[in-house]
Chain A
Amino acid sequence: MSTESRGRTVGVDLDETIGPDPFRLLTLGCVAVLIGSYVHVLREVTGVVGGTQSLLLLVGAMIVAATVLAQTIRPRTATIAAVVAVAVGFTYYFEATGAGVGTALTASGTIVSDTIALATGLPLLRMVEVGLWTLGFAPGPAFLSWYLALRGRYALSVLPAGFALLFLVLTGDAGTTITLIGTVGAIAAVGFGELERRGGSIAQADLLAVLFAAIIVLSLSVTFLPGDDSGPAFADGSSGTLEGTIDTADEQSGISGQVDLSPEVRFTVEAEEHSYWRTGIYDRFAGDEWVRSGQTEEYDGRIGAPPGEHETTTQRITAETELGVLPGAPQQVGLEGPPVRHADVSSHGQPQPADTLVEGDEYEVESAVIDPDPDELRAAGTDDPEYVTDEHDYLQMPEDTSSEFEEYTAEVTEGAETRYDTAAAIERYLRTSKGYSLEVDQPSGNVAEEFLFEMDEGYCVYFATTMVQMLRSEDVPARYVTGYTTGQKIDDDEYVVRGLDAHAWVEVYFPDHGWVAFEPTPGDAREDVHNDRLEDARDEGRDDVDTEESEDVPISDEADENESDDERDDEENGDDEENGDDTDPDDDPPGSDDHPNDDTDDGSGVDDGDGDGDRDLSELVTITREQLAIGFVALVGLVAGVRRTDATTQARREFRLYWHGRRSDPDADARRAYRRLERLLAREYRPRHRAESSRQYLAALSAEESVDPRAKRVAEAYERATYGGGVDREEANEAITTVDELARERLPILRRFR
C-alpha cells in the first residue's frame, strides 16, 4: 500500500547493515598493505645491492598469479605451489652463492644457525648475495597471502605475509613505522574480514578506527621514552660522538649529522712506526650507513697478508677504557695476548674482540705494512682477484645513485689513466673543495651524493663515504674503513689515542699490492678542531683526557701523516696555505659576535651561509612528517570516537539550546525556537512524550508545574508554522526572543546576575 511506503524513511541509516562489498575491498586493501610492508623492507635491501626491478616484477607476477588462480585451484594446491616457489627461489640462491644445494642439504646445521643468526638480529645486508636471497624470499608469502585473501580466508591470509614481516622484524631490517603499518594492516584485515563475514555495519567499523588509532598512537609513543635515540618516528637526530657514530654496531657504521668529540683517552700504542689504527672495514653502502657483509670466523692464528711486498711491524696496544674494537695498523696479520685469544676475524680481514676489552688489557698486533710508491701503484693494473670482484661488495653502489654522480666523478677524474691517478684525483678534489666541520645536518638520502652536490663541509665520515662511492663509480674497488688516527706522540715509540682521534678513511685495492689507504679528509682543519676540543677538555680539568705522560707533551701533528701516499704531503702543504689564516675563533673581535657561525666558516675557509639558513629553519619547524602522520591518525581516531559517542551532536544540541543560530525562513525559525523550548522544558520538567502534541505537552506540564506562560505563545507560533501555513517574520522573531530569554534565565551562572 502506498501509505506503507510513505512511512519508510529515506536516507543513510548508519546502523543499517551495509553490503559486504566495501568491507571486502577494505580487507583486500589491508592485506595488500601487509604484503606491501614486507616487500617494502626487501625493496630497501635491493635498493642497496640492486635487483629492485626484478623484485617488484616477481611480486607483481605472484599477485597476478594468485588473482588468476584464486578461483581455480584449491588452498592445498596453492600452499604447495607457494612452498615450491620458495624452494626454487632458495635453490637458486644457494647455487648462485656457490654453496650449492648439496651444501644446503648436508650442512643443514649451518643453515639453521644462519637462520637463527638472522632471526636474532643479523641484518639482511650482512648476507652475501642478499639480492638473490630477497628474490627467493619475497614471492611465496605474497602469493599465498593474496590467494587466501581473494578466497575470503582473511584470518589465514594474514599469516604468510605476517610471518615474512615478523622475520624481517627479527632481523632488524623492518623499522618501527613499517612494522606498525604492517601490523595495523594485518589487524585491520582480520577485523574488516570479520565485519564482512558477519555483515557488520559502519557503526562497528568506526569502533575499529578508534582501536587502530589507539594502537598506532600508543605504540609510537613508546619510543618517546627518554634515552632512546633510535625511536624511528621521533628520532631527533641528536648527535652522539663521532666515535659512537662510526662504531654503532660491530657490523654497521652509521652516518649521522652533527657529532661531538670525546677527549677521553682510549688506548695507548707502543709502535715502531706510526700509523692509522684500523678497527673496522665496511663494503656495503646503504645510502645512510655502511654495512659489513659476510660472516666472521674465529681467529685461527693467522690473518691473510697482502699479496705484495710488505714489512712486518709489531704494536703493543693497551686499552685505557673499555674497548669494543681491536685497533691495529693495517694489515693486521697476527694477534697475541690474552684479550684477543678468542677474537673474531671478519671476511675482510679485520679482527674484532669476542669480549669487550677492559682498562689495562694489553695485546700485540703484528701488521704487514705495505708502502708502495706511486709508480708501482700506477703499474699495478686492474686485474683484481675474485675475492675483490665477486665475494665482496667492493664495487657496490646504491641503486638510486644518480647518473649525475657518475658523470661528475668522471669529470673530476678526467685524465687519470690508472687506478692510482683516479684515486689521487678524487682525493685531491675532496680535500680542496670541501671544508671540515663537525656541525653538519645529516642529509636525507644518499649521503655521498648529498655531500658531493649539496654540502660545503663535513667530517671524515662524509669525505670517506663520498670518496668510496666516487671510486666505485669509476669501477675502482674501494672500501670504507674506520679506526683512529695516530694520536698524540708522547715518546719516540708511544702514542696516546683519544676518542677524538676516531676517524674514517678509504682503502683502494691494487692488484699485487693489496689495500692501500687514501685520506680524503683535509688534515689541518680536522686537526685544529680536534686539538681545540682536547684543550677545552683540559681546561675543564677533566682527568680522563690524559695519561701520566701525555699531559706534558705538546699535542703532536702525527695524525695527519699518511703512511702510503707520498704526494699527500704536498697537498697538505697546499692546504696549509689555503687555511693559512690563524684566526682562532676565540680571537675574534667582540663586534663579530652577531655572527656566531662565522667562527667555523673562518676555520674552514668555506662559506656555508645557505647551510646555516637550512639549519635555522629545521630548528624552527620541528614537526616531522611522522609527527604529522601520527597526528592525522590520532585525529581520525578522535573523529571516529566522537562519532561513536555522538559527542558532536550533544555539543551542538547544548549550544543550540542557548543560541538560535542563523535565521532562515520564519517557519523554520519558529519550529527551531519551539524545539529549543522543548529541550529547555525537558531539562526542567520532563521530555515531551512522542505521542503528545505540543498543546498536550504544555497543558500537561501546566497542570502540574507553573510553566512560564510565554511558552504557550512559542508553541502557538510553532503550530501555525507547522500546520497553519506559516508565520510571518515578526511572529518568528518573537518566538526566538522569547526562547532566548527563557534559555538565558536558565543559564547556570548568568541568571544569578539578572
Chain B
Amino acid sequence: MTDANPTSATGREPHTPNTLPISAIESLCSDVEANVSRVIVGHDDAIEHVITAILGRGHVLLDDVPGVGKTMLARSLARSVDCRFRRVQFTPDLLPADVTGVNVFNQKTREFEFNEGPVFANVVLGDEINRAPPKTQSALLEAMAEQQVTVDGTTRELPDPFTVIATQNAVEPNQTYELPFAEVDRFMKKLTLGYPDADEETELLGRAVGHHPIDSLEPVTDLETLVRARETVAGVRVEEPIREYATRLAGYTREHAEIGVSPRATISLLRAAQARAVTDGREYVIPDDVQTEAPVVLSHRIKTDSRDRDGASVVEDALEYVRVT
C-alpha cells in the first residue's frame, strides 16, 4: 500500500464506477465533519486532518494528555461511517495475540479455529498505544504497514478500508514504552488536540451532561462510498512542480535536522495533500495543500539534535524558506 505511486493522475477523466465526483466527496466530508462536530466541540482542524488522513489511506496518531477527547474523536468518526469499528486498550500486559487474534481448538469440530482479534475492523482505535510493550505495538504496526496479519504462519488479509487511529499519552513517561522512531514513521499524521477554549468547554459540558451525543450519532455514509472516495483521492492530480516542492521540503529537513524525513514521509505528504485538495473541491494539488499538511505529516518524523528545536520548528522553517515554485 505504501509503495503505491501517489502521483498517477487520472483526475481529469469522468468518474468511473469506482470513483466519485469531487463535489460528492466534498459534501461527504462536510457531512462527516458536521456529524463529528455534534460530539466534539472545537478541534475543527483536527477533525479535518483525521478525515483527510482516512481519505488519503493513512493512519493517525493522536498524542495528548488524557481526557481531551482523543478517543471520542475516533469513535465519533467511526460511527459517522457505517463501518466496523473496534477498540483495543493497550496495557503493559497486552499480548500480540490479543491484537491480531488467536487459533482456538474447537472441541466440537476438533479443529483449530481462528478467533479474529480487534484488528479485523475498518477503523481500529488503539488506545494508549504506548502503554503496551514494543512486541505488542509491533503487531499492530505490521498490520498498519501490510494491511494483513500473520498468526501461526497463516497470513490473513485485513478488511478494506483499514484505518488505525492510535492515541498516546504524553504524561507518565516512565510508565510507557516510547514508540520506536521507525514505527512512528508509519503514521501518516500525528495530531495533538489540546484543551478546548473556555467557550468550547462550556458548550461541551452542556452537550455531554445527560445523554452523551455519541449514542445518538447516526452514520452519514457507508463503507462503499468511503472506498470509492479513497479511490478518487488517489487519482487527484499532482503535477511536477508540486512533487518538486515536496522534494525540496524534504531536502530542507534533511539538511537542517539530525534525521530528516524519509521518502515514505514525502509520499504520505502528497497523499494527504491529495485528500486536502479534494476537501477543498479541487481535483489537483496546489502548494497550499502541501503547506497545510506538512506540519502534521512531517514534524513527528524529524529528529533534531538540539533540545530547543523540535520537528515542528524545522518544518516551520522549511515552509518559510523553501521556495514554492
Contacts and interface: CB of A to CB of B under 8 A. Distances in A.
Given A3-B263, A7-B247, A691-B319, A725 B237 contact: yes
B238 to A, nearest CB: 8
B286 interface: yes
Contact of A691 (B263, B284, B285, B323): B323
B41 to A, nearest CB: 28
Nearest to A695: B288
B313 to A, nearest CB: 15
A725 B284 contact: yes
A723 interface: yes
A691 B250 contact: no
B282 interface: yes
Nearest to A716: B286
Contacts of B248: 7
B242 interface: yes
Contact of B251 (A7, A720, A723): A7
A694 B323 CA distance: 11
B320 A691 contact: yes
B12 interface: yes
Contacts of B237: 723-725
A652 interface: no
B251 A4 contact: yes
Nearest to B283: A724
Interface string A708-739: 00000000000110111100000000000000
A723 B324 contact: no
Given A6-B244, A7-B251, A724 B322 contact: no
Contact of A725 (B9, B241, B250): B9
B284 to A, nearest CB: 4
B130 interface: no
A752 B291 CA distance: 42
Contact of B324 (A4, A7, A690, A724): A690
Interface in B108-133: none
B282 to A, nearest CB: 7
A692 interface: yes
B287 interface: yes
Contacts of A724: 237, 239, 282-284, 286
A696 interface: yes
Contacts of A3: 247, 250-251, 263, 266
B325 interface: yes
Interface in B248-275: 248, 250-251, 263, 266
Contacts of B295: none
A649 interface: no
A695 B287 CA distance: 9
Contacts of B324: 690-694
A675 to B, nearest CB: 10
Interface in A664-722: 690-696, 719-720, 722
A696 B319 CA distance: 12
B288 A693 contact: yes
A724 B282 CA distance: 9
A693 B282 contact: no
Q: Which of B244, B250, B263, B325 has the most CB of A within 10 A?
A: B325
Contacts of A7: 247-248, 251
A696 B325 CA distance: 13
B11 interface: yes
Nearest to A721: B239
B23 to A, nearest CB: 16
Contacts of B244: 6
A693 to B, nearest CB: 4
Nearest to A693: B287
A691 B320 CA distance: 6
A723 B286 contact: yes
Interface in B172-208: none
Nearest to B325: A722
Contacts of B288: 693, 695-696
A713 to B, nearest CB: 15
Given A3-B247, A7-B248, A695 B11 contact: no
A724 B284 CA distance: 5
Interface in B274-325: 282-288, 291, 319-325
Nearest to A696: B288
Contacts of A722: 239, 241, 325
Contacts of A725: 9, 11-12, 237, 239, 284
Contacts of B241: 722-723
Q: Which of A3, A693, A723 has the most CB of B within 10 A?
A: A723
Q: Which of A4, A690, A691 has the most CB of B within 10 A?
A: A691
A719 B319 CA distance: 19
B318 to A, nearest CB: 9
A722 to B, nearest CB: 6
Interface string B214-247: 0000000000000000000000010101101001
A722 B244 CA distance: 13
A692 B241 CA distance: 14
A720 B323 contact: no
A719 B284 CA distance: 9
Contacts of A720: 284
A723 B242 contact: yes
Contacts of B12: 725
B276 to A, nearest CB: 13
Contacts of B323: 690-691
B149 to A, nearest CB: 33
Nearest to A724: B284
A701 to B, nearest CB: 15
Contact of A6 (B247, B263, B284): B247
Contacts of B282: 724
A7 B284 CA distance: 23
Nearest to A688: B324
Contacts of B291: 693, 696
Interface in A217-259: none
Contacts of B9: 725
Interface in A125-150: none
B232 to A, nearest CB: 15
A4 B319 CA distance: 18
A723 to B, nearest CB: 5
Q: Which 8 A-B pairs have the closest CB atoms?
A: A724-B284, A690-B323, A693-B287, A723-B239, A3-B247, A723-B284, A693-B324, A723-B286
Given A6-B247, A723-B286, 14 more contacts: A3-B250, A4-B251, A690-B321, A693-B286, A693-B291, A693-B324, A695-B286, A723-B237, A723-B239, A723-B242, A723-B284, A723-B287, A724-B286, A725-B237
Interface of B: 9, 11-12, 237, 239, 241-242, 244, 247-248, 250-251, 263, 266, 282-288, 291, 319-325
14 contacts: A3-B247, A6-B244, A7-B248, A691-B321, A693-B287, A694-B287, A695-B288, A719-B286, A722-B239, A722-B325, A723-B286, A723-B287, A724-B284, A725-B284
